[in-house]
Amino acid sequence: MSKTALVTGASSGFGLLTTITLAKQGWRVLATMRDLARRERLENAAQEAGVLDLIEFITLDVTNNDQIGALAARLAARPTPLDALINNAGFAMAGFADDISDHELRQQFDTNFFGATALTRAVLPLMRKQGFGHIVFLSSISGRCGFPFISSYSASKFAIEGWAESLRLELKPLGLQVALVEPGVYDTNIWTTGAFLSKQTQLIQAQAADPKPASKSKAHNAHSSNAARIPGMIAHINTPKPRANPQEVADGIVNILETRRPKLRHVFGKDAKGALWLRRLLPFGLYERLLIKASGMGK
């Protein structure tokens, strides 16, 4: 009998690749996404791989508790077990820490942290009853090391790291496995269509692009102590850089699910492994100076 996995955020990036890779290995995949209108890319990839019949498309906004509850009930009614949950849904909020509002910070946590924890708690009764199952959280190297300009994203990943580690200790005696996936920079949409500049950062960016507007709009009356640094930071982020093939991470996730007792943390990418190595090896003051210089951040 085919095993079943639930993947959130399956319309693109690691979620899409993991869904296809699992299906090619014979898994039945419940591919969830916030908007089913965005299923075309996954559907085409599944068709090309000859695995479309193994994928079920499901609407799920991980910040919607009613949808989470309905899905949990649907899973409980299925005659087959849920072998794995892959918490992949997420987005990145960029901007200096003091240019991000409370509302934006909560939005970041609602998806990256509270959404993942709510869905996990919703399926736990089913997995406890089964006595087996793997739960995987897509974290990031940013959940182990803080980086400038992505404090909100990094904070949400640090939070999921702590929650998952504690959850692992609670569930391991029950036969349930918890693992964290910590990629570095890969060629996905997390920093393109999956990324958002904070509103204040957008306003400062617009002001820098048009410092003497014909009309005094709200957009050009923004103030930030970071105004002089924002254009350079955005230019640094947008500078083309070599990015690793995300299929490596998808293959790694499948390997975790097919390992009876996987370890807690799984780091992917030379940049991620290098950052952790430097942090362990160097005095922290030197590590900080190197990170600030590498970020291209001005004074």
**Which pLDDT tens digit goes with each residue over 80-97?**
999 999 999 999 999 999
Least confident segment among 40-49, 210-219, 262-271: 210-219
Indicate if 287 belongs to the active site: no
What are the phi and psi torsion angles at 145 (to 5°)?
A: -135, 130
Query: Which pLDDT score is estimated for 215?
Result: 45
Q: Is residue 179 within 8 Å of residue 137, measured between CB atoms?
A: yes
Active-site residue, from 14, 153, 186, 268: 153
Q: Is the pLDDT of residue 221 over 70?
A: no
Share of the chain above pLDDT 90, in %: 75
CB atoms under 10 Å from CB of 159, counted, come to 18
**Hey, what are 207's tokens?**
């002001």
Least confident segment among 201-215, 221-235, 260-274: 201-215
Closest C-alpha among 134, 95, 94, 88 to residue 111:
88
Query: What average pLDDT does the chain have?
Result: 91
Query: Which pLDDT score is estimated for 219?
Result: 43
- What DSSP character marks residue 161? H
Cα gap 93→152, rounded to integer Å: 6
Query: Which pLDDT score is estimated for 220?
Result: 46
Q: What is the pLDDT of residues 140-174, one digit of tens each?
A: 999 999 999 999 999 999 999 999 999 999 999 99
Q: Say what the pTM is.
A: 0.92
Query: Which pLDDT score is estimated for 216?
Result: 47
Q: Is 79 exposed, middle or buried (0-12, 13-18, 19+ CB in 10 A)?
A: exposed
CB under 8 Å to 11, separation ≥6 — which residues? 33, 34, 35, 38, 39, 41, 42
CB under 8 Å to 174, separation ≥6 — which residues? 128, 131
Closest C-alpha among 71, 117, 72, 69 to residue 90:
117
Average pLDDT over every residue of 210-237: 65
Confidence of residue 103 (pLDDT cuts 50, 70, 90): very high
Query: Which pLDDT score is estimated for 223?
Result: 72
Q: Is the pLDDT of residue 217 over 50?
A: no
Q: What is the pLDDT of residues 183-205, one digit of tens each?
A: 998 887 766 655 688 888 888 87
Closest C-alpha among 11, 35, 125, 129 to residue 72:
125
Q: In what order do the strands lie in the sheet with 84-87?
A: 55-59, 28-33, 4-7, 84-87, 133-138, 176-183, 265-268
Map out the domains of the chain with their CATH numbers.
4-295 (3.40.50.720)
Cα gap 213→182, rounded to integer Å: 44
